[in-house]
Amino acid sequence: MGGYGDVKLLREDGLRLDGRKVDEMREVEIEAGILPAADGSAWVKHGLNVAVCAVYGPMEAHPRKIQRQDRAVIDVRYNMAPFSTSDRIRPGFNRRSREISKVTAEALESVVLVERYPRSKIRVEIEILAAEAGTRCVGITAAAVALADAGIPMRDLIVGVASGKIEDTVVLDLDKAEDNYGQADLPMGILPTTGEIAFLQMDGDLSVEEYNTCMDYNLKAAREIHVLMVDALKRRYAEKNGGEA
């Protein structure tokens, strides 16, 4: 790591290039229920990342060979729009989106009460409209809100957050430059009420102390985002209820 040693990611005053403190998150906005055709949906803006998620089902799983006799399968399709980055992305499934779809499905399986719907399928479609590092985390957050909006029983919501290391300093929520030229990246899927971790990946090296700091940052950020998720879900139904929640 550190092959880009000449790229300065921290300013003289200790703040990051975009003026954030090391433990400061990018701004997050969440809306629930934005797609009328889906059973549940969500829109999440996290910094410059924009993700839309639609949930369909539970429905009978087809083809039959994918059915599980004791639980529902969660079929996640993570996709980046061709226009989401500065270089055009070739439309369609690729190695990266397949991997993210798989790990997202596994993260969601640990919160959704899949055993309630044996032999069925829950379809989760995550579409990244704009990308600026950390899209898998934004996708997980959006999927959690959309699943709750669809009325699918869950143990908890799940929040996607990441922290990492730049210039030997642990920072929360890497942006594009920090992700590209930083030393490590630690995305996590956290169950905010219990603090359980349902998803964890690590790119780069972290010492035990650095890892623990990352963990603290991620937990703190997860709680902050959780408040916004709950607010988005309640706001949707407060509106529907004539403004009285």
Partner 1 sequence: MSGAKEGAELRLVTPGEAIGASTGVRAGTGTLIMGDNIIATRVGWIRENNGVTSVDPIHAAYMPRSGDLVIGVVESVRNNLWFADVNGPFNGLLPMSLAPWKVEFGAARQQMDIGDVMLARVQEVDEAHNIVLTMKGVGLRRLKEGIMSEISMNHISRLRGEGDSTLRTLKEVSDCRVIVAENGRVWVDGDADGITFMRAVLDLVRNEGHKATFNASLEALIDNRRNA
In whole angstroms, what is the distance from residue 28 CA to residue 50 CA? 10
Contacts of residue 205, Cβ cutoff 8 Å, sequence gap at least 6:
1, 183, 184
Q: How many residues does the chain have?
A: 245
Kindly write out the interface string for residues 38-77 of this chain, putting x where it contacts partner 1 by CB under 8 A and - elsewhere.
Answer: -xx----------------xxxx--------x--x-----
Q: Tell me the C-alpha to C-alpha distance, in Å, between residue 211 and each of 16, 109, 199, 206.
A: 20, 25, 15, 6
- Among 14, 19, 63, 242, which residue sits at the site for partner 1 (rule: CB under 8 A)? 242
Among 15, 48, 66, 238, the residue binding partner 1 under the rule CB under 8 A is: 238
Strand, helix or coil at 53?
A: strand
Token pair of 96, please? 């990266």
Residue with smaller CB distance to partner 1, 38 or 174: 38
Convert residues 5-34 into a mask of x (bound to partner 1 by CB under 8 A) and - (unbound). Answer: ------------------------------
Residues 103-142 that bind partner 1 (CB under 8 A): 111, 113, 117-120
Q: Contact with partner 1 (CB under 8 A): which of 126, 157, 170, 186?
A: 157
Amino acid identity for residue 47 in this structure: G
Query: 128 vs 229, which CB is nearer to partner 1?
Result: 229
Number of residues that bind partner 1 (CB under 8 A): 39
The pair of three-digit structure tokens given for residue 60, joined into one six-digit string: 């009978």
Residue 188, CA atoms < 13 Å, CB-side half-sphere: 24
**Binding to partner 1 in span 216-235, by CB under 8 A:** 229-230, 233-234
Structure tokens at 81: 């729009």
- Residues at the contact surface with partner 1, assessed by CB under 8 A: 39-40, 57-60, 69, 72, 111, 113, 117-120, 148-157, 191-194, 229-230, 233-234, 237-238, 240-242, 244-245
